[in-house]
Amino acid sequence: MQTRFHIRRKVFALVVCLLFSTILWFLNDLSRVQTATVEIPVKFTGLPYDMVTVNSLPATMDATIEATGFDLLWSNYSGTRQTIEIPLRLEKGGVDPMRNYLFNINYYMPDITEALGPHYKIRRVFPDTFSIRFQKKFVKKVPVKINSDLQFVKEFGLSAPVIIRPDSVLISGTKENLLRVDSVFTKRVILKDIRKSYTGKAELEDLNGITYANNLVEVYMPVEQYTEKSIVVKIIPANVPIGYELNTIPDVCSLKVSVPLSLFNKIAADQFRIIAEFPAKTTSTNRIMLKVETQPSFTRLIKLDPVSVEYKIKQE
C-alpha cells in the first residue's frame, strides 16, 4: 500500500508539472509577435455627392498584420470587427465621369493603421490598388412594399392593410438603374403564431447599383380575431346578351364568411356581388355555377349555398 501511494503522488506531481510547463509555454508563445492575415471590413468616404460609382468598391480587404499572440487571439475571439472608414482624397475641381480613378491603398495606410489600433502593425493589404469610375447621380421617389411570411394562430388574421412608414423612399443611382425600379420591397419579415398586432422595423432589400436615403422603415400589421357571419345576397345575372333575360332559381344565395370582430356590424349584403354568367350554350343539367365577383377586404368566404342554380332564359 505504501508503494502504491508514493507512485500515485509521483504521477500526480508529474502531471501537474507537465500542465504547468504547457501553460508557461503557451503564455510565452502568446506574448511573442506573430504574423497573421485577417479580413477587415472597409467603407469608403468622401465620395462626390452628385456622383455614383459605376463599379463596386471592395467591402473587405485582407490585411497581413503583426501583433502579439494575445492581441491576435482576442481579435479572433471577439468575432465581428469594426468597419474601417477610408477617406478618399479626390482631386479638387470636380470629378470627370469619363475617367477611371486609380487608388493605391498604401497611400491610406496611416488611416487603416490608426483605425486598427496601436497593437497591430500592418505589413500588407490586398487588394493594394483599385479603380473607381463615376457617373452622374439621379434620384427618384418610389413606394415601399412589404415582403412577408406570416403564420397566424387559428381564427386570427390581418384586419386591415399593412402600414409602412415612410410609405415611400428616395433612391439614387445611375439613370439606367433607376429606370428599372418602380418600387422596393422590404427584406422578408417572418412571423409565426401571430395573435396580436405587430409593430417593428424592417430593412429594405439590397438592389445592385441602388442606394437609399433611408433603408429602414417601420411596419405595423393590424391583427384581430375572426368570427363567422351569415349573409343572404341577391344573385346578379351577368353578360346577358341584348334581347335576352336570365332568371335564376333561386334568385338569392347564402354566404358564410369569416370577418374581423371590429367589422362584424359593418359587413352588409350590398358589399358582395354574386354573379351568374349567361351560359355560352345550354347545358344538360340546366344549371349555372355562381361566382363571388367582389367582397369586402379582409373577409374570407367559408361557404356559398347553393354553389349553382337552375336558370330560365327569356327572349324579349
Q: Let me know whether 179 and 253 are in one domain.
A: no
Residue 16 lies in a domain: no
pLDDT digits (tens, 9 = 90+) for 220-272: 999 999 999 999 999 999 999 988 899 999 999 999 999 999 999 999 999 99
Q: Structural domain of residue 304, as residue ranges?
A: 226-315
Q: Which three cell numbers stand for residue 133?
A: 469610375
CB 8, CB 48: distance < 8 Å: no
Q: Let me know whether 162 and 214 are in one domain.
A: yes
CATH (domain of 283): 2.170.120.30
Task: Look at residue 16 in the predicted model and tell me its pLDDT.
Answer: 65
Alpha-carbon distance 210 to 172, whole Å?
6
CATH (domain of 197): 2.170.120.40
Q: Let me know whether 57 and 151 are in one domain.
A: no
CATH (domain of 70): 2.170.120
Q: What burial class does residue 72 get, using C-beta atoms within 10 Å of its C-beta: 0-12 exposed, 13-18 middle, 19+ buried?
A: buried
pLDDT means over runs of 10, the chain (316 residues): 59 64 54 68 81 80 68 51 75 70 77 69 75 87 96 93 95 91 96 95 92 93 96 94 91 95 93 92 77 92 94 85
Q: Let me know whether 51 and 106 are in one domain.
A: yes
Which of 105, 136, 167 lies at the terminal end of a domain, its last residue?
Answer: 136
Residue 67 lies in a domain: yes
For the whole model, what pTM was predicted? 0.66
The strand order across the sheet containing 84-87 reads 84-87, 33-45, 60-68, 121-126
Q: Let me know whether 215 and 235 are in one domain.
A: no
Residue 13 lies in a domain: no
Alpha-carbon distance 167 to 185, whole Å?
11
Alpha-carbon distance 84 to 105, whole Å?
13
Q: What burial class does residue 58 get, using C-beta atoms within 10 Å of its C-beta: 0-12 exposed, 13-18 middle, 19+ buried?
A: middle
Which of 136, 163, 184 lies at the terminal end of a domain, its last residue?
Answer: 136
Q: Which three cell numbers stand for residue 288?
A: 349555372
Beta partners for residue 237, in sequence order:
276
Q: Let me know whether 146 and 210 are in one domain.
A: yes
Q: Let me know whether 191 and 143 are in one domain.
A: yes
CB 66, CB 121: distance < 8 Å: yes
Which of 200, 221, 242 lies at the terminal end of a domain, its last residue?
Answer: 221
Q: Let me know whether 178 and 263 are in one domain.
A: no
Q: Let me know whether 246 and 302 are in one domain.
A: yes
CB 191, CB 162: distance < 8 Å: no
Task: Look at residue 59 in the predicted model and tell me its pLDDT.
Answer: 81
Q: Let me know whether 106 and 38 are in one domain.
A: yes
Please give the tally of structural domains in the chain: 3
**27 membership: H or E segment, kind and range:** helix 2-30
